[in-house]
Structure 1
């Protein structure tokens, strides 16, 4: 086939077939020309559909693999280093969920254009500007091939340039949205000898970058594989542990100062796996959120805590309420009102004996939806506490719009017990603000009598921390707080701490 220019500047594709005429050695030929422009165009379209992403126009997974294999052969033959960069959009699901899939498609097309524009020809495998090595693997996942990588700093410059370019605001209808991406990088031959290995390890590095909060990149290192293996093991072991009720719940009292009377106890996770050992609570919650098991875990803790608190009520213990933390991810994925009301009914616990602790993150994700749920819960007597106040965005106007009962001050403000420090003055201000808004201020992480006295001077009377008691088992808590009338309500905090520690170590 060949192309021929025709009148008007257009071109047609022709296919020629010829036959010689006459005896051997004759020089006459009959030639038939056939216009195959339509067929050739259809073949090109079919090839493009097979190797190009319909939404963004970038190369697709097949295109990526074809070019990556070529790049790998060149790198291996010439002794070069090459890199695979694996990227995805941070919190992309939230865009689809809140603005719709149409907006998500616009966002992906915009990011694809920015990625392609920012990867310069000197960074790519093929020098032909018609060829792109920025590919969309699917969903919000993209790849970039970098060839002839001389050093890590050069690769860092390219990846950093790309992440900065995509972080510019994107216009979606009448909204301007700030979106970021994260990236993982694997280098041939250090991190793998074939494309599958490089992709897998770039993906592993990407996971580590996203674990930092996004808008970041990470180069693969062998220790990451151990972390990934642990994460996968945790996911599998967690599923089994929930089924077999192997995850423990302990309780840390919250006391009224200076009496030492327990006004509540916070339910805290404890998991000592027979294969993995003690799993930190923060890691446990993170794995549950990432693996889609946070709703099951949250409901499990809620049921355990409510059942234990009902026992306190039935036995006349001095502990008035149990506090349960609700993950922002659980709040987003679960019907929290249904979960609470069902659990209260099944365990027999009175609603006014339950506190739910939420974070500012949950409120900022969906203030209206969360506020409606909290209002419904409070209408039955359930109390709501804003946890870790001062560590998040701390949008003070939220305190006037969201139905709350308590404000838990983060432990970070209590490092210095000197009342003349800026931190102490900040605590005083937050306590006064809580009182002005008719919220009960609660201090977390109180570790010394000096801190307790400083807090009391500000007007904060409810405290929690090792100055009063470490987290203890349910049975130890019950044995310490005997009953509401004749128990140890009036003892000093030093005695309360000593008694619990002695019994815990016995």
Structure 2
């Protein structure tokens, strides 16, 4: 049964309670709405990452919660000072809310309220009003202070939702913290983005350019070649010329002067080529597109578009060959270089980049085969020869494992008696299909493939085995000469390796003579002198081969601890053609004897040459006149039978 309200006072009181409940219900609904939407303060839109708009959102939420006379928000700055960030009704009420706050600060009540995690209501200078302070803070950091003026009667009515205000301001503090963190992260992200973009550009440049010369590398060059071919596909006029060039005898420079010198030579050649192409573009009456690339090692590529026909290509590559063939100072050492170039032209010599590159490479190889320091255009018959060259590379790599290498020996003769006093070991390759190949067919290839060290050790071991098989007393064993390349000379412990092989075989070191060409010695005379000294210390004798072709001075020759000079066959072949041809040989023999060196002449092919050499005081020789290089079994027979080979006085 419903209660009865009999008096007007009771009815009025009922109305008041209903209105209070309705207002409280509405306020509670607003509070629930605010609680449900507090994530809006942290929202992931750009506007909610601005501290100013976070404060504005907070004020809008509080405005729906509490009917204030005035309210303000103070924000703590980086200097730990509170600054008025927002005020609802500045200057409209007396006293102004900001003035009241200043008084609270002076009284210490503002500071006290900072340490309370709930609303603090203080008396207002205005009768019937209160001032509310509520710290805006996270659990670890104060961000500001919320301040409001209330009529005391209204404050009592909304007392039940003050906990919601605490939640709003707590979220505001975290929103401000989040905004600061976001701005810091945003600045960091932008900085990282700038750094990343710059480093990405640097990485892309590094991946697409050669680190030594800063030129485009093979990857970028191939891409530009493909793009150029696409631009000119189906074009009635215009073509793309691809020029591949390789430094001649670069490995000799690397081996004699070291890799730093080789790198420096590559850099200087790259600079010269860049300057040459710049000049060609300036000289061209029309736009000339060129790309210079270092493809790897000592190989460069030049891509040429929009030239004046093939004649323009010829002029350009002629300039490249002519201006590259020059002497450069590399670490105070004069180095003469030249290039061999191969040219392939799109669309005549290939319809894709790989084919064009392969055909230009075949043309470059042909230029090298024809004497270097020149250029060749691609023709279809070059492919077969290039393929054969690559096949030979693969087969040479297996030659030692498959026991295909052979040694032939050319006897060295005492011209006074015709007696064999030693021999030179000459390598041959018993190719399964091509037959017996001389060293001129594969030694340079072995040096390119860095097989020469392995082959050199095989030669020495085989010589030791052959000497062992003679079963002679140590003092009766002949001396065998072995050729050593400039690349072997740069082995870190050539003397130690050779001495170990000889010691393990039980062969006296005096039975091994090492021959190194004068040209190889002069590439690095100081290095050669050091290695020669160690080899002599190990007991081996040393000979300077092809003497007269490398321009060694008398001073340099004195520094080399050699035992023998070997006169090059180019001086011997004309000995019987007149007195003037013997003067150089006479001078070489006299110089050798002055230095206390033995002399041997190679390439003796006639009896008259042998006679003249003996008259010139050279008493040791080798050549076809005495014997062609023979297998070891044949040499064994000659030694066993003490055969005297043809000699001037035999």
Q: Same fold by TM (over 0.5)?
A: yes
Q: Does 1:69 align with 2:230?
A: no
Structure 2 CA distance for aligned equivalents of residues 322 and 226 of structure 1: 40
Shift of 1:291: 1.0
Shift of 1:327: 1.5
Q: Contact between 1:446 and 1:467, CA under 8 Å: does it hold in 2?
A: yes
2:535 corresponds, among 377, 380, 383, to 377
1:307 corresponds, among 465, 468, 488, to 465
Given the superposition, is the C-alpha separation of residues 61 and 463 from structure 1 closer, same or farther in structure 2, using an over 3 Å criterion?
closer
Q: Contact between 2:460 and 2:482, CA under 8 Å: does it hold in 1?
A: yes
Structure 1 CA distance for aligned equivalents of residues 358 and 290 of structure 2: 22
Structure 2 CA distance for aligned equivalents of residues 215 and 339 of structure 1: 37
Shift of 1:215: 4.4
Shift of 1:159: 1.3
Name the SS for the 1:190 alignment partner: coil
Given the superposition, is the C-alpha separation of residues 41 and 169 from structure 1 closer, same or farther in structure 2, using an over 3 Å criterion?
farther
1:117 corresponds, among 278, 281, 286, to 278
Alignment of 1:98-497 (within 5 A): 98-99=259-260, 103=264, 107=268, 110-111=271-272, 113-120=274-281, 127=287, 133-137=291-295, 141-148=299-306, 152-166=310-324, 180-210=338-368, 215-312=373-470, 314=472, 320-333=478-491, 335-418=493-576, 420-482=578-640, 487-488=642-643, 493=647
Structure 2 CA distance for aligned equivalents of residues 350 and 370 of structure 1: 23
Shift of 1:456: 0.6
Given the superposition, is the C-alpha separation of residues 58 and 480 from structure 1 closer, same or farther in structure 2, using an over 3 Å criterion?
closer
Structure 2 CA distance for aligned equivalents of residues 271 and 102 of structure 1: 34
Name the SS for the 2:578 alignment partner: coil
Deviates more, 1:173-182 or 1:248-257: 173-182
Residue matched to 2:172: none
Shift of 1:105: 8.1
Structure 1 CA distance for aligned equivalents of residues 330 and 516 of structure 2: 31
Given the superposition, is the C-alpha separation of residues 113 and 253 from structure 1 closer, same or farther in structure 2, using an over 3 Å criterion?
same
Q: Contact between 2:518 and 2:548, CA under 8 Å: does it hold in 1?
A: no
Structure 1 CA distance for aligned equivalents of residues 447 and 637 of structure 2: 34
Structure 1 CA distance for aligned equivalents of residues 220 and 259 of structure 2: 32
Shift of 1:123: 6.3
Shift of 1:317: 9.5
Q: Contact between 1:81 and 1:150, CA under 8 Å: does it hold in 2?
A: no
TM-score if structure 1 supplies the norm length? 0.78
Q: Does 1:53 align with 2:214?
A: no
Structure 2 CA distance for aligned equivalents of residues 371 and 200 of structure 1: 42
CA distances 1:165-216 after superposition (whole Å, capped 9, x unpaired): 4556667787786655443211123321211111122223334445567544
Q: Does 1:81 align with 2:245?
A: no
Shift of 1:329: 1.9
Structure 1 CA distance for aligned equivalents of residues 324 and 646 of structure 2: 58
Structure 2 CA distance for aligned equivalents of residues 427 and 246 of structure 1: 38
Given the superposition, is the C-alpha separation of residues 97 and 345 from structure 1 closer, same or farther in structure 2, using an over 3 Å criterion?
same
Structure 1 CA distance for aligned equivalents of residues 570 and 334 of structure 2: 35
Shift of 1:107: 3.5
Shift of 1:355: 0.7
CA distances 1:324-383 after superposition (whole Å, capped 9, x unpaired): 111122222463202210111121110111111111232123222221121122234311
Shift of 1:71: 2.6
Q: Contact between 2:363 and 2:378, CA under 8 Å: does it hold in 1?
A: yes
Deviates more, 1:132-141 or 1:72-81: 132-141
Q: Contact between 1:262 and 1:318, CA under 8 Å: does it hold in 2?
A: no
Name the SS for the 1:453 alignment partner: helix
Shift of 1:261: 1.1
Given the superposition, is the C-alpha separation of residues 369 and 173 from structure 1 closer, same or farther in structure 2, using an over 3 Å criterion?
closer
TM-score if structure 2 supplies the norm length? 0.62
Shift of 1:458: 0.4
Structure 2 CA distance for aligned equivalents of residues 173 and 493 of structure 1: 49
Residue matched to 2:254: 94
Shift of 1:266: 0.8
Point out which structure has higher relative CO (alpha carbons under 8 A, 6+ apart): 1
Q: Contact between 1:272 and 1:279, CA under 8 Å: does it hold in 2?
A: yes
Name the SS for the 1:314 alignment partner: coil
Structure 2 CA distance for aligned equivalents of residues 67 and 276 of structure 1: 41
Name the SS for the 1:243 alignment partner: coil
Given the superposition, is the C-alpha separation of residues 247 and 188 from structure 1 closer, same or farther in structure 2, using an over 3 Å criterion?
same
Given the superposition, is the C-alpha separation of residues 102 and 334 from structure 1 closer, same or farther in structure 2, using an over 3 Å criterion?
closer
Given the superposition, is the C-alpha separation of residues 153 and 471 from structure 1 closer, same or farther in structure 2, using an over 3 Å criterion?
same
Structure 2 CA distance for aligned equivalents of residues 340 and 65 of structure 1: 45
Q: Contact between 1:253 and 1:265, CA under 8 Å: does it hold in 2?
A: yes
Shift of 1:443: 0.8
Shift of 1:492: 5.3
Q: Which ranges in structure 1 are unaligned for 5 or more consecutive residues?
A: 1-36, 497-506
Structure 2 CA distance for aligned equivalents of residues 221 and 232 of structure 1: 18
Structure 1 CA distance for aligned equivalents of residues 564 and 637 of structure 2: 28
Residue matched to 1:33: none
Structure 1 CA distance for aligned equivalents of residues 262 and 552 of structure 2: 31
Q: Which ranges in structure 2 are unaligned for 5 or more consecutive residues?
A: 1-189
Shift of 1:225: 2.6
The number of equivalent residue pairs is 453
